[in-house]
Amino acid sequence: QKVKNAVIVPVGAKGCFFPKALPKAGSREEYQAAGVRAYQAFVRGLLDVTDNIIEDQIAPPPRCVRWDDDDPYLVVAADKGTATFSDIANGLSAERQFWLGDAFASGGGAGYDHKKMGITAKGAWEAVKRHFREIGKDIQAEPFSVIGVGDMSGDVFGNGMLLSRQIKLIAAFDHRDIFIDPDPQDLAVSFAERQRLFDLPRSSWQDYDKSLISAGGGVFSRQLKAIPLSAPIRRLTGLASETATPTELMHALLKADTELLWFGGIGTFVKAASESHAQAGDKANDAVRIDAEELRARVIGEGANLGMTQAARIAFARRGGRLNTDAIDNSAGVDTSDHEVNIKILLRAAEKAGALASADRNPLLERMTDDVAAHVLRHNYDQTLALTIAQQTADEDVAAQERLMAAMESAGRLDRQVEGLPDSAAMRALEMQGQGLTRPELAVLLAYAKLATFDGLIETGAIDEPAFAGRLKTYFPDECQPFEPQMQQHRLRREIIATVVSNEMINLGGPLFVQQVSERAPVGLPAIAKGFEGVRRVFRLPALLREVDALDAAIAAGKQTQLYASIVGFLRAATPQAARRLELANDSVSSFVARYQPGADALARVIQTAAPQALREEMRKTIADYAAQGVGAGLAEIIARLSLMGASFDLVDLGARHGWPIEATARVYFEVTETIGLDRLRLAAMGVAPRDPWEKQALRRFGDDLAAKQRALTDAAIRWAEANGRADSEKLSQPTGVWAESLVRSWLRHAGPAAGDALAASAKIGAEGEWSLAKLMLAGAAVSELTLTVD
């Protein structure tokens, strides 16, 4: 629950209560009434030790000694066994005059009905669609086979099996029945029958029209002692016998060959071979459960909780299976509840201020249902994309992930054993084998990175930067915008903004983002957050990302991931530069953007003519490659030039210092790069494979030092040009490549023999065999000598 909560404001876990005096021989109604009384006692007990807010003042609970700070924020959410209890809990909230009113328990008569919205299934379906898209299949347009756990009366299973008309449901089971349709011929007919069952007030697989089931299939009660196995069922399950017990049949179905295995019911059905059944913690399904190593599904969607153990997920992923975790796949439910609570707090304030009539609140909540769903599903889209991007460099990131986990352990934030993450020795073994963390492990790391970032943003006050204030408006649906004055006074204003920003930072930058930036720039989290926001705005990354999002299913998923990776790589490289400048100047994000965005725009306009020939040719090839894959020319050009746009900050600073326009500054900057061979050294560094984490850090430091030398050398060349009459207004207003080349070569000649010696030394090192870290260091030293010579 803790990792699932990374996308929402509250922290906490699942609560439970145990009714001790249920009637042993009573009717169902008496049994239910006793359960409700126990629930009421439990919730009253929670409220007994929770601060309240009365007339905008904290009111501690009476007869209670408090050892913690003020904390009036307590919410409960419906779960297994209490799905219909929201109104009961909200009645108790009213009874106690608790400040949250009916925002205390999400759902209920005046809340969002998760089953009616189908929100949990839709969130998990975003994950399933991405898995298939990344293996080249559009499941909204192409038929695909499914085996599931659940039935059509259930929220997650029922809604899920109506999310594509291409679903070929060949088998499913719940606690009552086993449904098998070995070869559905008319997917429209089977879809309509599933819809009919879903729409019934109550249904089971026994209600399915048997005449619509393909030859050899049927619906079989789990109460049967033996089930006859037709030839089609034997082919599907691999069972050789003529009959099987219900348990044997379900066990075989879990191992059957299918494209999607969809968990939408209660139970833990897959463990790792290394685990005992007891470790799965679900004794009722011990005989049905299989090992992950026996799975033949290509993709697993976890609409339900705990369908697999974490060790099983990792084992399946290591074999090439595609899945996330339940916390990633079915987070839309808690996300919707969180939106409901925060919207109700806002509307309650609007009612008190006279901006909203009480009678208008519930109709307004209902009208916003689709908008809330869109906000929530965007989170599912972004989180699964974050895992895809993190996977691209997983084998290269092991040492950095080890440092992150070790730091979190030292801070008491993480217990690797509890979360199923590898210990230090296992991480070293992965690195030696050239393997990285799997997607389920990355999902856990992603959540912990978000939680740590959220806490840091709140504790350091970083979230109070004015540039983040707009996130509050984007969190709420459009129809809430008239209540902006109440929004700004929202009691959870800072927490909402911190949740949005921490999710944006980590979803886009990855679990290692904050650590990687801090290792390259000696700044704190406030500067990193401001740097992230500054880069997003200066280079208009949100609009760029939306363009790439729009290519879903339009181009090959691998090529689309490459586009994302280019943007993320740029963000990671540019943020340290931005963070350093913001920290040194103690600047606001808006001032930073005003200073650098015009220069970045100007550079974008001239980059294809100002860059050196080799880099221009590389850009042209990249643009042609993207265009051939179906990427629009405009987007292809922006992505292709991103790697050079990181120079924007240096160019703006140099231009401002000397009063030079961007194009003239850029031409000299890139000419210095080409003439001295800095681009050659940068490419060489990218081609050297580090043998350990220290060499990796040394190579990164080499790249940063090279950028600093490039800046210093360009500054020296500009100063020489100004002192020697090579920078008149006509040349600066219409700079050419010939002018820049002549200027740089003249400057180096005037620097004397020492400059020539340094250049020759660097060239000689590069000419003798393959590059190594030692050779790079020597070449870097030669460039340092040149920097001293010409300064």
Q: Are residues 482 and 395 in the same domain?
A: yes
The band of 373, judged by pLDDT with boundaries at 50, 70 and 90, is very high
pLDDT value of residue 434:
92
Q: Determine the pLDDT at residue 730.
A: 82
What integer pLDDT is reported at residue 758 of this predicted model? 77
**524-541: pLDDT as tens digits:** 999 999 999 999 999 999
Residue 280 lies in a domain: yes
Residue 352 resides in a domain: no
Distance separating alpha carbons of residues 258 and 236, to the nearest angstrom: 9
Tell me, yes or no, whether 615 and 528 share the same domain.
Answer: yes
According to DSSP, the residues that pair with 580 across neighbouring strands are: none
446 & 594 share domain: yes
Q: State the pLDDT at residue 81.
A: 77
Cβ(390)–Cβ(383) below 8 Å: no
Distance between CA 528 and CA 139 in Å, rounded? 39
Q: Determine which of 178-182, 294-298, 339-343, 681-685 has the lowest per-residue pLDDT on average.
A: 681-685
Burial group, residue 362, by CB count within 10 angstroms (0-12, 13-18, 19+)? middle
List, for residues 161-200, the tens digit of each pLDDT value.
999 999 999 999 999 999 999 999 999 999 999 999 999 9
Residues 6+ apart with CB under 8 A from 545: 508, 564, 567
Q: Is 417 contained in some domain?
A: yes
pLDDT digits (tens, 9 = 90+) for 693-731: 778 888 888 888 888 999 999 999 999 999 998 888 888
For 55-65, the pLDDT digits (tens) are 989 999 999 99
In this structure, the answer to whether residues 656 and 690 fall within a common structural domain is no
The H or E element that residue 738 is part of is helix 737-750
Output the DSSP codes for 209-273: -GGGSPTT-EEEETT-S-EE--HHHHHHH---SSEE-HHHHHHHHHTS--SEEEE-SSS--EE-T
Domain edge (last residue) among 280, 302, 321: 321
In this structure, what DSSP letter does residue 629 have?
T
Positions marked catalytic: 14
Whether 677 maps to a domain, the answer reads no
Whether 670 is covered by a domain: the verdict is no
- pTM (global) more than 0.85: yes
Per-residue pLDDT tens for 481-520?
Answer: 999 999 999 999 999 999 999 999 999 999 999 999 999 9
pLDDT tens, 28-45? 889 999 999 999 999 999
In this structure, are strands 270-271 and 227-228 parallel, antiparallel, or unpaired? unpaired
* Nearest C-alpha neighbor of 71 from the set 93, 45, 101, 99: 99
For residue 769, pLDDT beyond 80: no
Q: Is residue 791's pLDDT more than 80?
A: no
Summarize pLDDT for 99-139 with one digit per residue, the tens.
999 999 998 889 999 999 999 999 999 999 999 999 999 99
What's the confidence (pLDDT) of residue 5?
81
3-state percent helix, strand, coil for the chain, nearest multiple of 5: 65, 5, 30
Residue 340 lies in a domain: no
CATH number for position 271: 3.40.50.720
Nearest partner of 9 among 457, 603, 595, judged by Cα: 457
Which pLDDT does position 729 carry in this prediction? 85
Pair (90, 141) in one structural domain: no
Task: Name the band, by pLDDT with cuts 50, 70 and 90, for residue 341.
Answer: very high
For the chain, give the mean pLDDT: 94
Residue 413's domain comprises 384-660
pLDDT reported for residue 535:
98
Per-residue pLDDT for 273 more than 80? yes
- Average pLDDT, integer, range 570-589: 96
Confidence of residue 15 (pLDDT cuts 50, 70, 90): confident
**Residue 760 in domain:** yes
User: SS3 for 356?
Assistant: coil
pLDDT at 385: 98
Is the alpha carbon torsion for 553, 559, 565, 566 positive or negative?
negative
Cα-Cα-Cα-Cα dihedral sign, residues 453, 457, 462, 464: positive
Same domain, 613 and 470: yes
Query: At residue 614, does pLDDT exceed 90?
Result: no
pLDDT band at 405 (very low <50, low <70, confident <90, very high): very high
Hey, what long-range contacts does 555-558 have (CB within 8 A, 24 or more apart)? 555/629, 555/630, 555/631, 556/136, 556/629, 557/133, 557/134, 557/135, 557/136, 558/134
Indicate if 101 and 151 belong to the same structural domain: no
- The residue among 660, 676, 697 that closes a domain is 660
- Examine the domain organization and report whether 141 and 213 are in the same domain: yes
Let me know whether 94 and 158 are in one domain. no
Residues 278 and 180 in one domain: yes
Examine the domain organization and report whether 416 and 561 are in the same domain: yes
* Assigned domain for 594 exists: yes
Domain count of the chain? 4
Same domain, 107 and 147: no
Q: Residue 559 half-sphere exposure, CB side, CA atoms within 13 Å? A: 19
Strand partners of residue 179: 172, 219
